[in-house]
Amino acid sequence: MKIPFHPGLLACIRSIPGRRWNNDAKTWHIANLKESLDKILLAAIAAESSVYIGRHDPFSLPEEDHIYLLRRSLAVRRYSRNTIESYVRYNRELLLFTGKNADEIDQDDVAEFIYHKIREKNISTSTVQIIINAVKFFYGEVMHKNFPCDIQAPKKDKKLPVVLSKSEVAAILDSIGNLKHRTVLMLIYSAGLRLNEAITIEKNDIDCDRGLIFIKGAKGRKDRTTILSEKFKILLDAYVRTYNPDKWLFKGHDIGSHISGRTVQYIFSTALAKAGIAKEATVHTLRHSFATHLLEQGVDIRYIQELLGHQSPNTTMIYTHVSTARIRNIKSPLDT
């Protein structure tokens, strides 16, 4: 980015975390973030001046090499795609935020970065832990440094998951006219799938004869099987006859790709609004609802754990706190 000399514009640039001055090119380098660009453009308007914005790699070659090595190390260790992208993203953001080389960053820089993310993005306690893990991996496996990251993540929030009633789930599905969109959401609810499991499922992963769905390489790199709903089989048959999928059950726009997670999130949020449901629900809420409804039907918690693919029964036990079936049968002392 090139700007004419103006005290207001210069102060604006210097207020942006992670900005860098390239003395050879006489340009400022900043992250391509909408909030930063908007801030600069407003300052330029106020200064009655203009700025030149061009695309440029924000890292010097050594830093880009470090990011490549990070991605490679994660892939070799068979980390999931989501974990790889998270670790790469947060380490990139840390480098941009500090404006330092990787070997210059210390614990105070990490703490300040996390504080910035909490203040600006209101990140959750689990995201704080992911950032800490990402930084530790980067410095331990890529930089080969015993990084003194003694930052303690806050205790995880003990929030109960949002759950939809059966009638609310039905209202959401009924509000969708598109066959493909209805099929993907019904699959998630009827089988208790995670979003990534649903979008990457292949046509051959569904065994209609045995009434099973095979989930390959799920969270924790574990395979599992889950149930295939009889009602869903009817919808699936209509979907397959209409769309004729080959590899991926839900094809994406690009040749050879599957549907994206963002697309499914948009489908769900649109259907939620059409159904007139005010709960703060996401696609993952369908999975929570699947587990809770099974528990309320009397299904043993150990079977639910297996269907969901939870490694620890403690993870599944949260649904015993969410289920209201028994609570609804308790009468208030006022009513007795």
Q: Residue 324 — very low, low, confident or very high, per pLDDT cuts 50/70/90?
A: low
Catalytic residues: 194, 219, 284, 287, 310, 319
What share of the chain has pLDDT > 90, as a percent?
Answer: 40
Residue 310 has a pLDDT of 84
Highest-confidence segment of 14-18, 244-248, 251-255, 303-307: 244-248
Amino acid letter at 94? L
Query: Which own/partner pairs from 311-319 qualify as long-range (CB within 8 Å, at least 24 positions apart)?
Result: 311/220, 311/222, 316/291, 318/160, 318/161, 319/288, 319/291, 319/292, 319/295
- Kindly give the pairing relationship between strand 212-218 and strand 27-29: unpaired
Residues 77-86: what's their mean pLDDT?
87
| 22 pLDDT more than 70 | no
Structural domains in the chain, CATH included, are: 1-58 (no CATH), 61-142 (1.10.150.130), 166-328 (1.10.443.10)
| 128 pLDDT more than 70 | yes
Q: What are phi and psi of 244, to 5 degrees?
A: 45, 60
| 87 pLDDT more than 70 | yes
Convert the pLDDT of each residue in 171-191 to its tens digit.
999 999 999 999 999 999 999
Which position has the token pair 């094809």?
251
Residue 97 has a pLDDT of 87
Structure tokens at 246: 């080959």
pTM of the shown model? 0.64
Residues 69-93: what's their mean pLDDT?
90
- Contact between residue 250 and residue 201 where contact means Cβ atoms under 8 Å apart: yes
Summary mean pLDDT of the chain: 83
Distance from the first to the final alpha carbon of the chain: 73
Residue 160 has a pLDDT of 79
Amino acid letter at 149? C
Q: Residue 61 — very low, low, confident or very high, per pLDDT cuts 50/70/90?
A: very low
Residue 317 has a pLDDT of 80
Q: Which residue did the predictor score with more confidence, 55 or 279?
A: 279
Residue 15 has a pLDDT of 79
- Burial class (CB within 10 angstroms; exposed 0-12, middle 13-18, buried 19+) of 328: exposed
